[in-house]
Amino acid sequence: MIALVVDDSMALRLVHKRMLEAAGWEVRTAKDGEDAITQLDAMPVCHLVMTDWHMPVMDGIELVKRIRQHPRYASVPVLMVTSEAGLSAIQEAIAAGATEVLMKPYTAEALVERVEEVTHA
Protein backbone atom coordinates (compact mmCIF):
# COMPACT_ATOMS: atom_id res chain seq x y z
CA MET A 1 0.00 0.00 0.00
CA ILE A 2 1.28 3.45 -0.92
CA ALA A 3 0.55 6.61 1.05
CA LEU A 4 1.27 10.26 0.36
CA VAL A 5 2.01 12.34 3.48
CA VAL A 6 1.53 16.08 2.98
CA ASP A 7 2.79 18.58 5.56
CA ASP A 8 4.79 21.79 5.41
CA SER A 9 6.78 20.68 8.46
CA MET A 10 9.68 18.46 7.43
CA ALA A 11 9.80 17.05 10.97
CA LEU A 12 6.13 16.03 10.89
CA ARG A 13 6.49 14.54 7.41
CA LEU A 14 9.31 12.38 8.76
CA VAL A 15 7.37 11.39 11.90
CA HIS A 16 4.27 10.45 9.89
CA LYS A 17 6.39 8.63 7.32
CA ARG A 18 8.05 6.54 10.03
CA MET A 19 4.72 5.77 11.71
CA LEU A 20 3.20 4.55 8.46
CA GLU A 21 6.29 2.63 7.37
CA ALA A 22 6.27 0.81 10.73
CA ALA A 23 2.72 -0.26 9.86
CA GLY A 24 3.88 -1.64 6.48
CA TRP A 25 3.15 1.30 4.18
CA GLU A 26 5.33 2.62 1.38
CA VAL A 27 5.35 6.39 1.90
CA ARG A 28 5.94 9.37 -0.36
CA THR A 29 5.93 12.93 0.96
CA ALA A 30 4.97 16.40 -0.22
CA LYS A 31 5.57 19.81 1.38
CA ASP A 32 2.21 21.40 0.47
CA GLY A 33 -0.93 20.83 -1.55
CA GLU A 34 0.57 21.92 -4.85
CA ASP A 35 3.52 19.55 -4.36
CA ALA A 36 1.02 16.82 -3.43
CA ILE A 37 -0.84 17.18 -6.73
CA THR A 38 2.49 16.94 -8.58
CA GLN A 39 3.39 13.82 -6.58
CA LEU A 40 -0.03 12.22 -7.20
CA ASP A 41 0.29 12.85 -10.93
CA ALA A 42 3.65 11.04 -10.91
CA MET A 43 2.52 8.08 -8.79
CA PRO A 44 1.21 4.95 -10.49
CA VAL A 45 -1.23 4.41 -7.62
CA CYS A 46 -2.00 5.93 -4.23
CA HIS A 47 -4.02 4.23 -1.49
CA LEU A 48 -4.06 7.08 1.06
CA VAL A 49 -3.43 10.80 1.28
CA MET A 50 -2.68 12.07 4.76
CA THR A 51 -2.59 15.84 4.83
CA ASP A 52 -2.13 18.69 7.24
CA TRP A 53 -4.71 21.49 7.13
CA HIS A 54 -2.57 24.64 7.39
CA MET A 55 0.13 24.87 4.72
CA PRO A 56 1.44 27.58 2.42
CA VAL A 57 0.83 27.58 -1.35
CA MET A 58 -2.19 25.22 -1.16
CA ASP A 59 -3.73 24.26 2.18
CA GLY A 60 -5.23 20.91 3.09
CA ILE A 61 -8.83 21.95 2.45
CA GLU A 62 -8.04 23.09 -1.08
CA LEU A 63 -5.98 19.94 -1.65
CA VAL A 64 -8.90 17.73 -0.61
CA LYS A 65 -11.23 19.62 -2.95
CA ARG A 66 -8.77 19.22 -5.84
CA ILE A 67 -8.36 15.50 -5.12
CA ARG A 68 -12.14 14.98 -5.11
CA GLN A 69 -12.48 16.83 -8.44
CA HIS A 70 -9.85 14.69 -10.18
CA PRO A 71 -11.24 11.45 -11.65
CA ARG A 72 -7.97 9.58 -11.14
CA TYR A 73 -7.82 10.07 -7.37
CA ALA A 74 -11.36 11.06 -6.41
CA SER A 75 -11.86 7.78 -4.52
CA VAL A 76 -8.54 7.84 -2.62
CA PRO A 77 -9.16 8.07 1.14
CA VAL A 78 -7.96 11.36 2.61
CA LEU A 79 -7.07 11.66 6.28
CA MET A 80 -6.92 15.30 7.41
CA VAL A 81 -4.56 15.82 10.35
CA THR A 82 -5.11 19.08 12.18
CA SER A 83 -4.82 21.04 15.38
CA GLU A 84 -8.13 22.71 14.52
CA ALA A 85 -10.55 21.90 17.28
CA GLY A 86 -14.29 21.84 17.29
CA LEU A 87 -17.17 20.43 15.39
CA SER A 88 -17.17 23.20 12.77
CA ALA A 89 -13.58 22.37 11.72
CA ILE A 90 -14.43 18.68 11.37
CA GLN A 91 -17.55 19.55 9.39
CA GLU A 92 -15.55 21.84 7.08
CA ALA A 93 -12.97 19.13 6.38
CA ILE A 94 -15.63 16.49 5.74
CA ALA A 95 -17.62 18.89 3.54
CA ALA A 96 -14.48 19.51 1.48
CA GLY A 97 -14.20 15.76 0.93
CA ALA A 98 -11.91 14.46 3.68
CA THR A 99 -12.66 10.86 4.55
CA GLU A 100 -11.76 11.38 8.21
CA VAL A 101 -10.18 13.95 10.51
CA LEU A 102 -7.50 13.18 13.11
CA MET A 103 -7.04 15.85 15.77
CA LYS A 104 -3.57 16.65 17.14
CA PRO A 105 -2.10 15.49 19.43
CA TYR A 106 -2.41 11.75 18.83
CA THR A 107 -0.40 8.59 19.33
CA ALA A 108 1.18 6.42 16.66
CA GLU A 109 -1.39 3.77 17.54
CA ALA A 110 -4.28 6.19 17.03
CA LEU A 111 -2.87 7.29 13.67
CA VAL A 112 -2.44 3.72 12.42
CA GLU A 113 -5.90 2.78 13.68
CA ARG A 114 -7.48 5.69 11.83
CA VAL A 115 -5.52 4.88 8.66
CA GLU A 116 -6.73 1.28 8.83
CA GLU A 117 -10.31 2.50 9.28
CA VAL A 118 -10.27 4.79 6.23
CA THR A 119 -8.41 2.37 3.98
CA HIS A 120 -10.12 -0.79 5.23
CA ALA A 121 -6.64 -2.33 5.57
Architecture of domain 2-114: 3-Layer(aba) Sandwich (3.40)
Q: What residue spans define the domains of the chain?
A: 2-114
pLDDT at residue 104, rounded to an integer = 85
Phi, psi dihedrals of residue 45, rounded to the nearest 5°: -155, 150
Q: Name residues whose C-beta falls within 8 Å of residue 104's C-beta, 6 or more positions apart in sequence.
A: 81, 82, 83
pLDDT digits (tens, 9 = 90+) for 86-113: 888 889 999 999 999 999 888 999 999 9
Q: What global pTM score does this model have?
A: 0.94
Q: Across-strand partners of 2?
A: 26
Residues facing residue 27 across a β-bridge: 3
**DSSP helix/strand/coil, 116:** helix
Per-residue pLDDT of 16-66, as tens digits, reads: 999 999 999 999 999 999 999 999 999 999 999 999 999 999 999 999 999
59 with 81: CB under 8 angstroms? no
Please say whether the beta carbons of 60 and 97 come within 8 A.
no
